[in-house]
Structure 1
Amino acid sequence: MRSYLTTIVAALAAAAIAFFLATVAHRLTRRLGRRSLLMTELAEHAHRPFQVAATVLAVQFAVRFSTGYAVGAQWRQVALHALVLGVITTVAWLVASLLVVVEDVALARFRVDVPDNRHARRVRTQVVMLRRLTIAVIVVLTVGVMLMTFPSVRGVGAGVLTSAGVVGVVAALAAQSLLGNVLAGLQLAFSDAVRLDDVVVVEGEWGRVEELTLSYVVVQIWDDRRLILPTSYFTSKPFQNWTRTEAAVLGTAEFDVDWSVDVQAMREELRRLVEGSELWDGRVCVLQVTDATGGLIKVRALVSAGDAGSLWDLRCLVREHLVGWVRDHRPTALPRMRAEVGDAAGALPWQSVTPRRPVRRLPEAEVPDDARLFGGSEDGDARSEAFVGPEEPAEARR
């Protein structure tokens, strides 16, 4: 009984000393953390696992050195084994928290709340994926080490190794889909195909990548729904990434109007609208007639914005304004079906063979930039080279 009491007192004393020392270290770390981000992260994330690990380790040493081998041998063996398992668990917890601290300090250097955050989002995606992978590895190793402390588990080790080939084949077949998603997640993290906060179009839905894990990707749809897809989807099927190189994107608004519409006046109205809107980024404002069949012409307005959200609002604004403009200022350009009865040489305006007044044609040099998508401006010239390629020199053609 005296031996048991001695062990209990020694264990409580060791736990109190370890708890006190961990608390003192925590206070010193917090004080130093006023000038160091690393110390701040250690004080916030590593304090509790360090405190628990130090206490369990101190109790384990106290029980080991305060009891004899002859007195209470069975009780001592069970207690020490339980304490060893506790030490392994708390040390693994401490290591995982230290890795989280290091990753958070590394991520603090890359801000995502700035306009040009493509590189920061790429690094954050890779670090988050590595964090999940390292924590999973730590958990697996911890469970393995804890199992190896049991003699019965060590005894069946030879049998497990003997049947490792069969077990490996069965496990590979059973976890084929899971392993495929894990490898696809790692491929996405390091191939830069998709990152956190990227704007993508998948399955006909437009949204933002909210979460990227080793097995699945969560896409936040524009109406706050969540589309959850396996990571293998992004490596096996095509999808649109609107922000892979930059956040600025182009968008269209199309109109079916009558042939009598004044395209130049509509083009000037589009320019006036976007120049007065804060949604436009000043890069592209083009209005072109893209089709003229079936009794109507199709007019396409192409505009640009700094990000996908602004582009959506700008496209809606262009549609609303130009629809109202055609209705109020060009009512004859509204879509309509014609039926003509009688002689085509009548006196009606649309039956006239020659225009009633001369129409001034703009020289080629005076064609406005709003009518040209590939050329006419620096941005248009760059777009033309990207889609067509640089002009071949005359010497090379010869």
Structure 2
Amino acid sequence: MQNYLEMIVAVFAAAAIALFVAAVVHRSTRRLGRRSRLMTELTDHAHRPFQVAATVVAIQFAVRFTTTYAVGTPWRRTLLHLLVLAVIASAAWLVAALLVVVEDTALARFRVDVPDNRHARRVRTQVVMLRRLTIAVIVILTLGVMLMTFPSVRGVGAGVLTSAGVVGVVAALAAQSLLGNVFAGLQLAFSDAVRLDDVVVVEGEWGRIEELTLSYVVVQIWDDRRLILPTSYFTSTPFQNWTRTEAAVLGTAEFDVDWAVPVQAMREELRRLVESTELWDGRVCVLQVTDATGGAVRIRALVSAADAGSLWDLRCLVREHLVAWVRDQRPTAMPRVRTELGDARSELPWQWVQPRRPARRPTDGEVPDDARLFGGSDDGDARSEAFVGPDEPVESRR
């Protein structure tokens, strides 16, 4: 009975000493953390696992050195085995916490709340994927080490290793879909095809990459729905990534109007509109006639914005304003269906219109910038070279 009491007292004393040491270390790191980002992260994330690991190790040493009188007894072996398992688990927790601290410190160097955050989002995506992968590896290794502490498991280990080839093939076939998603997740993280907060169009839905894991991707759709897709979807199916190179994007607003529409006046009205709103980033403002069939003229207004959200609002604003402008200022340009009744000889006065003198065609220098998408401005010339090629002769472009 006296030996048992000594062991209990030693256990409590060792635990108290470990907790005291952990508290001293915690206060020291907190004081140093005022000037160091790393120390601040250590104080927030690593204090609890360090406290548990130190306490378990101290208890193990106390039990081991105060129960030498009971060497070989079953209860001592069982107790020490449980303590060894606790030490392994707490050590794995501490290692995982330290890795999280290092990853958070690395992420703190890259800000995503700035306009041009493409590089920061790429690093954030890779670090988050590595964090989940390392935690999964630590958990698997911890379970393996804990199982290897059982003598029966160690005995079976030799037989398992001899048939590892067959088991590996069977496991790969059984988990083909899961492993495919895992490798697809790693490919997405390091190929820079898609990142967190990228604006994408998948399955006909427009949204933002909200979460990227090893097995699935969560897309936050514009109306706050969530679209859950396997990571292999993004490596096997085409999708649109609006923000892969930069956040600034282009958008269109199309109108079907009558042939009587004054295109140049409508172009000038579009220019006045975009220059009066903060949604436009000042890069592209183009209005062109893209089709003229079926008794109507199709006009496309192309505008640019700094991000996808601003572009959506800008496109809606352009539609609303130009629809109201056509209705109020140019009602004759509203789409209509004409029906003419007359004789087959076309001899009625209203069936013959004297052809007008052709208007003078403006020269290249007189063409306004907002009438040409591929040319007419520095941005248009750069876009023309990107789609045609800088070494191609000018005559072939026409």
- What corresponds to 2:125 in structure 1? 125
Q: Distance in 2 between matches of 1:345 and 1:106?
A: 84
Q: Distance in 1 between matches of 2:245 and 2:147?
A: 48
Q: Distance in 2 between matches of 1:13 and 1:391?
A: 81
Task: Report the CA distance between 1:363 and its aligned residue.
Answer: 3.1
- What corresponds to 1:54 in structure 2? 54
Query: Residue deviations 1:310-335, cap 9 Å, x none?
Result: 00100000001101110111111111
Q: For the structure 1 residues 363 and 72, does the alpha-carbon distance in structure 2 shift closer, same or farther, using more than 3 Å as the test?
A: closer
1:105 aligns with 2:105: yes
Task: Report the CA distance between 1:71 and its aligned residue.
Answer: 6.1
Query: Residue deviations 1:274-332, cap 9 Å, x none?
Result: 01011000000000000111111100000000000100100000001101110111111
Say whether the 8 Å CA contact 1:125–1:195 is kept in structure 2: yes
Structure 2 residue identity aligned to 1:62: A
Structure 2 residue identity aligned to 1:159: G
Structure 2 residue identity aligned to 1:74: P
Report the secondary structure of 2:116's partner residue: coil
Q: For the structure 1 residues 146 and 178, does the alpha-carbon distance in structure 2 shift closer, same or farther, using more than 3 Å as the test?
A: same
How many residues align structurally?
392
Task: Report the CA distance between 1:391 and its aligned residue.
Answer: 3.8
Greater Cα offset, 383-392 or 287-296 = 383-392
1:384 aligns with 2:384: yes
1:207 aligns with 2:220: no
- Structure 1 gaps of 5+ residues are none
Structure 2 residue identity aligned to 1:367: V
Structure 1 residue identity aligned to 2:76: R
1:373 aligns with 2:376: no
Task: Report the CA distance between 1:42 and its aligned residue.
Answer: 0.3
Query: Residue deviations 1:52-110, cap 9 Å, x none?
Result: 00000000000000112546722211110000000000000000000000000011101
Say whether the 8 Å CA contact 2:111–2:117 is kept in structure 1: yes
Structure 1 residue identity aligned to 2:135: I
- What corresponds to 1:87 in structure 2? 87
Q: Distance in 2 between matches of 1:393 and 1:379?
A: 19
Task: Report the CA distance between 1:393 and its aligned residue.
Answer: 6.5
Q: TM-score, normalised by structure 1?
A: 0.96
Query: Residue deviations 1:246-293, cap 9 Å, x none?
Result: 000110000000001101111110001001011000000000000111
Q: Distance in 1 between matches of 2:235 and 2:68?
A: 62
Report the secondary structure of 1:156's partner residue: helix
- What corresponds to 2:27 in structure 1? 27
Q: Distance in 2 between matches of 1:358 and 1:58?
A: 98
Report the secondary structure of 1:293's partner residue: coil
Q: Distance in 1 between matches of 2:347 and 2:371?
A: 34
- What corresponds to 2:317 in structure 1? 317
- What corresponds to 1:221 in structure 2? 221
Q: Distance in 2 between matches of 1:86 and 1:68?
A: 21
Query: Residue deviations 1:167-200, cap 9 Å, x none?
Result: 1121111110010001001000000000000000
Task: Report the CA distance between 1:345 and its aligned residue.
Answer: 5.8
Say whether the 8 Å CA contact 2:70–2:76 is kept in structure 1: no
Question: 1:1-398 alignment to 2 at 5 Å?
Answer: 1-70=1-70, 73-342=73-342, 344=346, 346=348, 348=350, 352-355=353-356, 359=359, 361-392=361-392
Query: Residue deviations 1:364-393, cap 9 Å, x none?
Result: 321111110000000000000000001447
Q: What is the aligned-residue identity percentage?
A: 82
Q: For the structure 1 residues 297 and 69, does the alpha-carbon distance in structure 2 shift closer, same or farther, using more than 3 Å as the test?
A: same
Say whether the 8 Å CA contact 2:19–2:54 is kept in structure 1: yes
Report the secondary structure of 1:30's partner residue: helix
Report the secondary structure of 1:234's partner residue: helix
Q: Distance in 2 between matches of 1:170 and 1:218?
A: 30
Report the secondary structure of 1:298's partner residue: strand
Say whether the 8 Å CA contact 2:29–2:43 is kept in structure 1: yes
Query: Residue deviations 1:5-34, cap 9 Å, x none?
Result: 111110110000000110111011111100
- Structure 2 gaps of 5+ residues are none
Say whether the 8 Å CA contact 1:3–1:71 is kept in structure 2: no
Greater Cα offset, 187-196 or 163-172 = 163-172
Task: Report the CA distance between 1:39 and its aligned residue.
Answer: 0.5
Q: For the structure 1 residues 144 and 346, does the alpha-carbon distance in structure 2 shift closer, same or farther, using more than 3 Å as the test?
A: same
Q: For the structure 1 residues 345 and 284, does the alpha-carbon distance in structure 2 shift closer, same or farther, using more than 3 Å as the test?
A: farther
Greater Cα offset, 159-168 or 14-23 = 159-168
Q: Distance in 1 between matches of 2:260 and 2:322?
A: 16
Structure 1 residue identity aligned to 2:24: V
Task: Report the CA distance between 1:157 and its aligned residue.
Answer: 1.2
Say whether the 8 Å CA contact 1:346–1:352 is kept in structure 2: no
Structure 2 residue identity aligned to 1:259: W
Task: Report the CA distance between 1:361 and its aligned residue.
Answer: 4.3
Query: Residue deviations 1:120-141, cap 9 Å, x none?
Result: 1100100000000000000000
Q: Distance in 2 between matches of 1:96 and 1:22?
A: 18
Q: For the structure 1 residues 256 and 102, does the alpha-carbon distance in structure 2 shift closer, same or farther, using more than 3 Å as the test?
A: same
Q: Distance in 2 between matches of 1:376 and 1:72?
A: 91
